[in-house]
């Protein structure tokens, strides 16, 4: 992958505030939900409720799509990512700790929440991108580039 494209991708992932996650419902329709996230490189971590519709969807089908957008003031500045990949429920203690550390680094308020034992109803996921569509309107209206990771 070209270094300038990789930097563009990492800038959006590193500085995005939230993402929209799409999972597949039992009826085959997509379900899109806004969630907070943290990352380590291109690996993306999210926390979801263990009894949520998202969790049920992912237990049946771990394929996901997500979008992350950079803030902009006019259309000529729109930049974002559309990512397709797979979600993995984390079970390994070392991986869980790493994901939690990434989340707490990005959202320090989670430390208090974890101390109050409110994490028993939460699952941590790791999303690994397989395809990225890079959106950059600075190169023209609707300009995208599709990349395989």
CA 98, 99, 105, 111 torsion: positive or negative?
Answer: negative
Token reading at 70: 């950079």
Q: What is the pLDDT of residues 86-116, one digit of tens each?
A: 999 999 999 999 999 999 999 988 887 666 5
- The CATH topology of domain 3-148 is Pnp Oxidase; Chain A (2.30.110)
> Per-domain residue ranges for the chain?
3-148
Mean pLDDT of 41-61: 96
Report the C-alpha gap between 70 and 17 in whole angstroms: 8
Q: What is the pTM of this model?
A: 0.90
Tell how far CA 38 is from the center of its chain.
8
82 touches 67 (CB < 8 A): yes
């Amino acid at each position: 992958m070209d270094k300038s494209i990789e930097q563009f991708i990492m800038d959006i992932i590193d500085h995005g505030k939230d993402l929209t996650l799409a999972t597949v419902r039992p009826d085959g329709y997509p379900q899109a939900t806004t969630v907070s996230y943290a990352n380590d490189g291109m690996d993306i971590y999210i926390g979801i409720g263990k009894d949520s519709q998202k969790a049920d969807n992912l237990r049946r089908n771990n394929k996901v799509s997500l979008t992350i957008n950079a803030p902009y003031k006019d259309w000529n500045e729109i930049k974002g990512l559309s990512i397709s990949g797979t979600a993995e429920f984390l079970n390994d203690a070392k991986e869980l700790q790493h994901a939690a550390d990434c989340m707490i680094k990005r959202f320090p308020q989670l430390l208090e929440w974890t101390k109050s034992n409110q994490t028993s109803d939460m699952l941590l996921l790791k999303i690994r991108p397989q395809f990225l569509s890079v959106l950059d309107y600075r190169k023209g209206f609707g300009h995208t580039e599709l990349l395989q990771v």
